[in-house]
Structure 1
Amino acid sequence: MIVWVNGTFGAGKSSACRELVELLPGSTLFDPEEVGYALKQWLPARRLAEVADFQDLPSWRRLVPEVAAAMLDEAPGTLVVPMTLLREAYRDEIFGALAARGISVHHFVLDAEETILRSRITACEEYPGNPEASARTRRWRLDHLPDYRAAQEWLHRDAHVVDTADLTPRQVAEALAALVKDGTARCPIVRSSTARGDTVAAAVLLFDEQDRVLLVDPVYKPAWEFPGGVVELGEAPTDAGVREVAEELGLELEPAALRLLAVDWEPATDDRRGGLRLVYDGGRLTPGRRAALRLPPDELRAWRLVSAAEAADLLPPNRHRRLLAALAARSGDAPQYLEAGQPAALGLPAGSTAG
């Protein structure tokens, strides 16, 4: 289990977490900043110059859940993590990786009025004996308060907020320990399948009168997706598409109504399994059916109708290529076959072209 204590600088994360480790038997303190400091030593200066913060490094976001999982293997129990995460996509990426490993996360945000935060930051002497370094740190933290204000909407929606204005670090830790015990802040994480090897997945595209396509925003996943999911053992892909649409949107479809648009062979990567991805046309959604859509709150945050161009900003590149191929097939007579999102010729000699 992980207790992730979020919040901006001055909220009291570090001091409260040190106290919390004493209150949670078998717990260990893990500061992901140390992973960032290590990367600053390992990565070339030219790469570090390209980012404003080590959280912008994909390697940091990948290593944090890896290190956390390794620490829990070495010292089973609770990992207490004081770490500011203000970008929702980064939170999605890290928590999603933890969920894939079956690690539960209790997510807290320590909060206080901005005047209190500024007062605490100004009074902090991060580097005793080095006033210049302390002044730079204070300025950096003060400059990032607007980022916290901007992130409060999603933070306060997804995490349990604890107001630290009138609490000592010990009192904050006691409040956190009680909330961990009753499970109030446990994230409703969707765990990845434990199946190994390649999979078959079915996605269903649904459209409105303007031919915009419906996308869904999964919980703790950094990008939007098509409605759909992995085909279960012994299940027909069309049945899987119908089942997933019913589970994710509360929408009943008939398997016979689905039209195959694209088949994409997706190669496996370090963090994702590969396999066949089938994309179906599920038809148009009337305004009445759109109004009746119901999302499972522990799986999906939102749905949205977008144009193909708008989808480019929401989907990973390979899935956007898959969407474009499916849209092209929708106006044609035959499904498209792709490999890694790219059209692949079938049964044609090298150098030849289709008809």
Structure 2
Amino acid sequence: MIVWLNGAFGAGKTTTARELLDLLPGSVLYDPELLGTGLRVMLPERRTGEVDDFHELRSWRRLVADAAVALLAEVPGPLIAPVALLRQDHRDEIFGALAARRVPVCHFLLHADETILRDRIAQRSLADGAPARDWCLDRLPAYHKALPWLTADAHTVDTTGLSPRGTAERVAAVVREGGGALDIVQTPEPTAETVAAGVLLFDEHDRVLLVDPTYKPGWEFPGGVVERGEPPARAGMREVAEEVGLELADVPRLLVVDWEPPCASAFGGLRLLFDGGLLESARADELLLPGAELRDWRFASESEAAGLLPPERYRRLRWALRARERGTTLNLEAGAPVGG
């Protein structure tokens, strides 16, 4: 298990984590920031110079889950991770990877009033200097922007009038009672190339239905991995029923077949998109989302989808929409048409 202490710089995450070591037997301090320090040494400057914060490095986010699993093979845990995680897509990527490895996450938000945060940051600058102070202050707007989803996702502990020990005691009490635990679907990581089927459902304005997974970054189409021996179109229908509670009456028509090539971080495989047709507003009102898997849904135009979908999914959607307009099926490789 990981006890993840989230919050702004100055909220008391690190000092609380050290106090928790005395209160949770077997606990070990896990500092993913050290992974970022290592990456800054190992990666070329041209790459690290492209980001303001190593949290933006996909390699860091992947290493956070990998290193946690490795540590839990050595110690019983829990791991105490005092890390500011202020982007929800980063949260989804890291926590989803941990869930896939059967590592439970207890997510806590250590919150404090802004005046307290600024005072603590000022005190920190006495030891670390003005650059550290300015860096922390510059990230306060990102924290305030993240508060709506943070407070919905994490168990909040207001540290404004608490000492680090008092904060740790509250966190420990909640952990012992089973609080703060996140319910995230455990999707096993693939061990080979996969076949996945997605279904495009449209409203009266030809906008496409997108869903927001809790276990990976970015929005997605309803769908999932085709099981052994299962027809892909039927797999898409099954996933639509499981994910949003809709039973499709007819087998959907295939729009695109996209070969996603393997890479260092993924096995790739075939990605198919089917045309599920019109979803009338009355039926859309009946959509049911499994909270452990999906947090939201929306209809999006093609241009709106560009800002919601990861690039590879958006390219696939664009060609699926062209295929739908032309009444044809397109064969893609890495999101680009091939053949006649």
Decide: shared fold, TM above 0.5: yes
Matched residue type, 1:281: D
Unaligned runs of 5+ in 1: 128-132, 346-353
Pairwise CA distance, 1:234: 2.8
**Partners of 1:280 and 1:293 in 2: CA distance:** 19
Contact 2:262–2:268 under 8 Å retained in 1: yes
1:123 aligns with 2:123: yes
Partner SS state of residue 311, structure 1 = helix
Partner SS state of residue 326, structure 2 = coil
1:280 aligns with 2:288: no
**Partners of 2:211 and 2:189 in 1: CA distance:** 23
The CA deviation string for residues 202-257 of structure 1, in whole angstroms up to 9 with x for no partner, is: 11100011211111110031111110111223322222211211111111112x34
Pairwise CA distance, 1:194: 5.2
2:69 equivalent in structure 1: 69
Pairwise CA distance, 1:125: 5.3
1:207 equivalent in structure 2: 202
Indicate how the Cα distance of structure 1 residues 146 and 237 shifts in structure 2: closer, same or farther if over 3 A, else same: same
Unaligned runs of 5+ in 2: none
Contact 2:190–2:267 under 8 Å retained in 1: no
1:342 equivalent in structure 2: 336
Aligned residue among 160, 176, 193 for 2:188: 193
Contact 1:126–1:137 under 8 Å retained in 2: no
1:157 aligns with 2:187: no
Aligned residue among 244, 247, 256 for 1:252: 247
Pairwise CA distance, 1:283: 0.8
Matched residue type, 1:213: V
Matched residue type, 2:290: P
Q: What are the equivalent positions in structure 2 for 1:1-355 lying under 5 Å apart?
A: 1-124=1-124, 127=127, 133-193=128-188, 196-254=191-249, 256-345=250-339, 354=340
**Partners of 1:201 and 1:57 in 2: CA distance:** 27
**Partners of 1:299 and 1:136 in 2: CA distance:** 40
Indicate how the Cα distance of structure 1 residues 195 and 67 shifts in structure 2: closer, same or farther if over 3 A, else same: closer
Pairwise CA distance, 1:303: 1.0
Pairwise CA distance, 1:43: 2.7
Matched residue type, 2:244: L
Partner SS state of residue 137, structure 1 = helix
**Partners of 1:280 and 1:48 in 2: CA distance:** 40
Partner SS state of residue 81, structure 1 = strand
The CA deviation string for residues 33-87 of structure 1, in whole angstroms up to 9 with x for no partner, is: 1112222222333333222122222222222222222212222321110011111
Indicate how the Cα distance of structure 1 residues 193 and 38 shifts in structure 2: closer, same or farther if over 3 A, else same: closer
Q: Which sits farther off after the overlay, 195-204 or 146-155? A: 195-204
Matched residue type, 2:118: R
**Partners of 2:133 and 2:322 in 1: CA distance:** 54
Aligned residue pairs total: 340
